Chains A and B, each alone.
Chain A
Amino acid sequence: QKEVEQNSGPLSVPEGAIASLNCTYSDRGSQSFFWYRQYSGKSPELIMFIYSNGDKEDGRFTAQLNKASQYVSLLIRDSQPSDSATYLCAVKAGTASKLTFGTGTRLQVTL
């Protein structure tokens, strides 16, 4: 069983719509959760992190965490073509520094 799972996509949404990206994890000791965006040929860029159950908003991005369901999601409002990228979910357990990455979801925002 994979430790961090994501739907590989591609997830296709029209410009201006809400994109919803989902991630589940297996380690109940996980404490920190991150979303990275990776454009083709580039390195991952951190866009959101969340530690507590509930929602965390930053501009057009909202991260949602439900530790009971071992589920974290990323919502992108008013999706733009520039949001087209692969989104990687990463999880950190306890005080460890090591990140475990999901396989990523490829998002395509269409005109």
Chain B
Amino acid sequence: SAVISQKPSRDICQRGTSLTIQCQVDSQVTMMFWYRQQPGQSLTLIATANQGSEATYESGFVIDKFPISRPNLTFSTLTVSNLSPEDSSIYLCSVDGRVMGRTWTDTQYFGPGTRLTVL
């Protein structure tokens, strides 16, 4: 499986500021995903990030609030803008298991997550 890292692992931010989360994969992957997991809740998909194209956002999530970059096949960033306490969550990146040049697997692998607390 792919090795996925995220930075930072956790952060405490002030209301009105922004946080950029980085996701790095050790293999080239076609699709990367960003999820939010609010306390005690399941995972909600924010957007799908493909290299070389605009991210595709899910209903309820907009680019102005959650801008995403995907500059190459191993890296993506998610920015959470204009933070409010309601943005306090764990943010997870995941990758589609169809890793280029390796055995195709129809799964998603998750990074370790970024725990965001907004004061």
Contacts and interface: CB of A to CB of B under 8 A. Distances in A.
Contacts of A98: 33, 45, 48
Nearest to B111: A43
A71 B108 CA distance: 21
B42 A103 contact: yes
Interface string A40-60: 001111100101000000000
Contacts of B108: 34, 46, 90, 97, 99
B107 A44 contact: no
A46 B106 CA distance: 11
B73 interface: no
Interface in A61-111: 88, 90, 92, 97-99, 101-104
Interface in B68-110: 92, 96, 106-110
B106 A92 contact: yes
Q: Is the interface of B mostly helix, strand, loop or mixed?
A: strand
A30 interface: no
B45 A46 contact: no
B19 to A, nearest CB: 18
Given A43-B92, A97-B96, A98-B48, A49 B43 contact: no
A104 B107 contact: no
Contacts of B59: none
Interface residues of B, number: 18
A97 B113 CA distance: 20
Given A98-B45, A102-B42, A43 B107 contact: no
A97 to B, nearest CB: 5
Given A44-B110, A46-B107, A97 B48 contact: yes
